Amino acid sequence: MVQKEDENLEDFVERLQYNLQRSEHPDVSKDILKTILLKGVRDECLDMLNMLGKGDISKESYDEIVNLCKRCSRGAANKSKKGIILIQRSRNQIVVEKKGLK
User: How far, CA to CA in Å, does 76 sit from each of 8, 12, 30?
Assistant: 9, 14, 26
Does residue 78 fall inside a structural domain? yes
Supply the range of the domain harboring residue 88: 9-99
Q: Provide the pLDDT confidence category of residue 26 given band limits of 50, 70 and 90.
A: confident
The CA distance from 56 to 69, in Å, is 14
Does residue 73 fall inside a structural domain? yes
pTM above 0.75, yes or no: no
In the chain, how many domains are there?
1
Does residue 1 fall inside a structural domain? no
**pLDDT digit string (tens) for 33-79?**
999 999 999 999 999 899 888 899 999 999 999 999 999 888 765 55
Does residue 81 fall inside a structural domain? yes
The CA distance from 7 to 14, in Å, is 11
HSE (side-chain half, CA atoms, 13 Å) at 1 = 20
Dihedral angle of Cα 98, 11, 62, 20, to the nearest 10 degrees: -160
